A and B are shown apart, each in its own frame.
Chain A
Amino acid sequence: MRQALIRVGAIVRKEFRHLGRDPRMLLAVVITPVIQLLLFAYAISFDVDHVPTLVIDFDNSPASQRYLQQYEASPFFDVVAHGTSLADVDTAFDGNTARVAIIIPSGFSRTLASDAAAQVSVLVDGSEPNAAKISQAYSVALNQLYGQQLTREWADAQGLDLSSFGLLEPRIRTWYNPERRSSDFLIPGLMVVILAIVTVQQTAVTLVRERDLGTQEQLEVSPMRRIELMVGKLLPWTLIAFLDVALITGLGRTLFDVPLRGDFWALTVGAALFVFASLGMGLLISAIAPSLDTANIMAMLIAFLPAFLLSGFAFALDQIPVFLQWISYAFPARYMVSISRGVFLKGAGFAEIWPELISLVAYALVMLVISSVLYGRRSSR
């Protein structure tokens, strides 16, 4: 046993020495996650507010100005320019300086004064569909609220009693992330993406490189057993993966104030299981891939893409077609994203996340077994 530990220790030391000799590699596993974190957390957001809005007021009356004030007052629209002709809309939309244009035709105040419905055009630039949808919804709501306000004033002026008509008012509450900060939403998921990239890709590559360079044979004729070699190879990456977890959690907590509401140990156990599952995947790739090139591309295809797109990290999984949802269950990232988000934002503990934990355990076991079988077959050949 003691001998085995010494042998494993030697491999671990060797791996770290490799890392130390290749500063770019060190950069890739420690600095890159930090850069990615900063980039994603600062830049990505799906929040739509302060939509640049162009206003063209052909009426230029107190009534039209009052109507426009609704837009000025709304945090959703930012009136950035006042146009004088319809051509200004084309220029603004083509140059992306405005996304919404409000056009008040002349006669607006006259129509209102004659107690009729005055028409207003709201043009929305559809080339950014999500933002356009939300802009559309808010401008409909704004117009209807304003219409109701006008009706009330009219009734008051006429001395009519409108008390038989009450208004329904939505009070929107956002749970788990009341300020709707994108960083709260993204950082827990980002941790998973970064872990997947570091663990799967690097393990796959280190093992294949050994084979490419021919040092694999040298290791095999040493008294080292296969399991010792694998443990020794995987241990450094496990440590680095945990370093990345700690780094991201630490930065997320201090720099971005991401709350950690749930059970810290549940997160740790989840992260450990995910790391094992990913290492198993890396081993599997290295057992199958004939060359470094293939290993790289395979790691990209089965680690990065699913972790980025099919994990629910930024794109809602219940919105995608069913066949892709099934595929997403075949990768561990999806389970880890829901563990991480559950613990960070929803205050989850073992009681809530046990189904995901069990999936990860099963996944890790299956991966490690398959890859060690394949690995054994390969090296005994």
Chain B
Amino acid sequence: MSPKRIRLLIWKEFTQLRRDPLLIRLLLLMPVLQLIMFGYVVAVDVRNLSTAVVDLDHSAVSRKLESAFSSSGYFTITQHVASEDDLRPLLDRGTVKVAIVIPEGTQDRLTRGETATIGIIVDGSDSQVSAVGSGYASQIVAQFNTERRDALGIQVAAPSVDARVRVMFNPTLDPINTMIPGLIAAIMMISLMVIMSQAVVKERESGTLEQMFVTPIKATEYLIGKLTPYAALATAQMLLVAAGGLFWFKVPFNGSIWVVLAGLFLFMFTCLGLGLLISLVSRTRHQAQQAVMFIMIPTMVLSGFIFPIQSMPAIIQPLTNLIPLTWALQVLRGAFVKGSGFEALAVPMLALVGFGVVIFGAAIVATRRRISE
């Protein structure tokens, strides 16, 4: 081990990085772009669904119901149409996502003490809209009933249940609060896999890898020198995302910084290992890129980064445990949102250790073998 050789190699890597102005610009652009995209598109709060109302009753009840819907903030009434048949083109074109149909005689039925049904139509071609729309519609109607009963002064001494619903950990229920910690882990993975694999393959393509191996440099020195610059770069990108999340999106941080750092440190070995492995199996940069995509897409889909694991079918759910990012997300989200400590996060931490040892270890062994050949 010669610290001087390692230092020289690190210096060489940084010089190479500096010479490629486009790459540097892209490396800085990537986290910013992802912050915007994930912050504003993926972590969007579904509200203000454009809603059409068919009021066939024209009564005090129907007007009150309408205002209950519009004041909830989840439905914005944009259209009033005369009959149910007129709804079809509106929903077909996607002008409205939800429709409320209040049939004739609703108020009369209610005063007669019967149950009156109102129709809520949700556009099922958009899953998020239909899930959120129908959930809130049920809540609004239930609340409407309670308020109406109270207003009538009927229930004075009847038993009832007073449910205090309290949201723990993320009381504003803003999706960005879980998106940012996830993005920090995701960006480390993306950047280490893409940039590192490309950098090593590029060296192979231009033939400088062989030159490197005829120098007195040893395998361990080569690896340390090669990995350090990229680990540093990824750290810079993560800091950028963390800063953007904390100061621009005002994401609260409830946990311990040591838990976050420990989780990221463990996860970094997995990412470095993956980057190395890709660069070993790919002969050209194009292949490396394809290989990255091949790993990236299942990771993004199955880790719970964008799509909740809880909503996946029961057969798929165990598969998500095989994805390292799943565990990194648990650590980061646990620390950021729930303020969990080492004790609560022992399982995901151990899983990260396991992935790190296996993947990084395999990559090191394979690289050393390749170098000594």
By a CB distance below 8 angstroms, the chain B residues around A377 are none
Most buried by A among B136, B155, B163, B311: B163
Find out whether the CB atom of B149 lies under 8 angstroms from the CB atom of A182.
no
User: Which of A43, A99, A117 has most chain B Cβ within 10 Å?
Assistant: A43
Question: A48 and B311 in contact (CB under 8 A), knowing A124-B165, A124-B168, A294-B22?
Answer: yes
Inter-chain contacts of B22 with A (CB < 8 A): 293-294
Instruction: State whether B145 touches A144 (Cβ < 8 A).
Output: yes
- Docked Cα-Cα span, A94 to B110, in Å, equals 45
Q: How far is the CB of A208 from chain B (nearest CB, A)?
A: 10
Nearest CB of chain A from residue B143's CB, rounded to whole Å: 6
Give bound CA distance, A209 to B178, whole Å.
41
Q: A294-B22, A316-B44 are in contact. Are A128 and B178 (CB under 8 A)?
A: yes
* Given A94-B340, A174-B134: A324 and B41 interface contact (C-beta under 8 Å): yes
Residues 317-373 of B contacting A (Cβ, < 8 Å): 330, 333-334, 337-338, 340, 344-345, 347
Interface size class of B (residues with CB under 8 A): 35 or more
Can you list, as one digit per residue, whether each of A337-350 has a CB less than 8 Å from chain B (1) or not (0)? 01001100110100
Contact A316 B149 (CB under 8 A): no
Nearest-neighbour CB distance to chain A for B96, whole angstroms, equals 10
Measured CA separation A319–B167 after assembly (Å): 23
Contact A176–B119 (Cβ < 8 Å): no
| A-side contacts of B161, CB under 8 Å | 67, 112, 117-118, 120, 143, 146-147, 150
B2 within 8 A of A: no
Say yes or no: B138 contacts A43, CB within 8 Å.
Answer: no
Residues from chain B with Cβ under 8 Å of A165 in the complex: 110, 113, 148-149, 152, 154
1/0 per residue B124-145: CB within 8 Å of A? 1111111110111111011111
B70 at the interface (CB under 8 A from A): no
Which of B210-218, B231-239, B295-303 is near enough to bind chain A?
B295-303
CB contacts under 8 Å to A, within B274-322, are 285-287, 289-290, 293-294, 297-298, 301-302, 306-308, 310-313, 316
**With A39-B297, A112-B159, A154-B159 as contacts: A134 and B115 at CB distance below 8 Å:** no
Asked if B127 and A174 sit within 8 Å, CB to CB, the answer is no
B223 on the A face (CB < 8 A): no
- Does chain B have a CB within 8 A of A376? no
Q: Which residues in window 1-48 of A have CB below 8 A to B? A: 24-25, 28, 32, 36, 39-40, 42-48
B37 to chain A, nearest CB (A): 5
* Whole-angstrom CA separation of A138 from B139 in the bound complex: 7
Q: Residues of B contacting A209 with CB < 8 Å?
A: 286
Q: Tell me if B257 counts as interface (CB < 8 A to partner A).
A: no
For residue A132, CB closer than 8 A to chain B, the reply is yes
Question: Is B154 within 8 A of A164, CB to CB?
Answer: yes
- Knowing A117-B159, A154-B158, A171-B118 touch, does A24 contact B165 (C-beta < 8 A)? no
Q: How far is the CB of A45 from chain B (nearest CB, A)?
A: 4
Cβ of B19 within 8 Å of any chain A Cβ, yes or no, is no
B44 lies within 8 A of A320 (CB): yes
* B142 proximity list for chain A (CB < 8 A): 140-141, 144-145
* Chain A residues, CB < 8 A from B118: 168-171
Contact A166 B109 (CB under 8 A): yes
Q: Please tell me if the beta carbons of B111 and A164 are within 8 angstroms of each other in the complex.
A: yes
How far, in angstroms, from A49 to B116 measured CA to CA in the complex? Answer: 26
Q: Report whether B139 and A148 are in contact in the complex, using a CB–CB cutoff of 8 Å.
A: no
Contact status A127-B116, CB under 8 Å = no
Q: A175-B122, A175-B124 are in contact. Are A129 and B157 (CB under 8 A)?
A: no
Question: Which of A118, A131, A169, A352 is B160 in contact with, Cβ under 8 Å?
Answer: A118
Q: Which of A130, A163, A321 contacts B40 (CB 8 A)?
A: A321
Task: Specify which of A126, A185, A348 is in contact with B127 (CB 8 Å cutoff).
Answer: A185
B157 and A115 contact, CB distance less than 8 A: yes
Bound-state Cα–Cα, A95 to B47, Å: 30
B57-115 interface (Cβ within 8 A of A): 61, 65, 91-94, 97, 106, 109-115
Please state if B46 and A178 are interface contacts (CB–CB under 8 Å).
no
Chain A positions 152 through 187: 1 when the CB is less than 8 Å from some CB of chain B, otherwise 0? 001100000011111111111111111010101110
Is A244's CB within 8 Å of the partner chain B? no
In this complex, what residue of A is CB-closest to B20?
A: A293
What residue in chain B is nearest A91 (Cβ atoms)? B344
Which residue, of B22, B114, B145, has the highest number of chain A Cβ atoms within 10 A? Answer: B145
CB neighbours of A315 from chain B (8 A): 41-42, 44, 128
Pair B311/A126 contact, Cβ less than 8 Å:
no
A172-B134, A185-B126 are contacts. A164–B159 as well, Cβ < 8 Å? no
12 contacts between A and B (CB under 8 A): A46-B131, A122-B163, A129-B175, A130-B308, A144-B143, A150-B158, A163-B113, A177-B125, A180-B127, A301-B33, A310-B41, A348-B92
**13 new A-B pairs (CB below 8 Å) besides A28-B293, A46-B131, A119-B162?**
A43-B312, A45-B313, A52-B310, A94-B334, A129-B173, A131-B311, A140-B142, A147-B160, A151-B160, A165-B154, A296-B286, A318-B97, A346-B91
Q: Ordered nearest first, which 10 A-B pairs have the shortest CB separation?
A: A177-B124, A126-B170, A163-B113, A144-B142, A166-B110, A143-B163, A174-B124, A94-B344, A137-B135, A137-B139
Residues of B within 8 A of A (CB): 22-23, 26, 33, 36-37, 40-42, 44-48, 50, 61, 65, 91-94, 97, 106, 109-132, 134-139, 141-146, 148-149, 152, 154-155, 157-171, 173-175, 177-178, 198, 285-287, 289-290, 293-294, 297-298, 301-302, 306-308, 310-313, 316, 330, 333-334, 337-338, 340, 344-345, 347
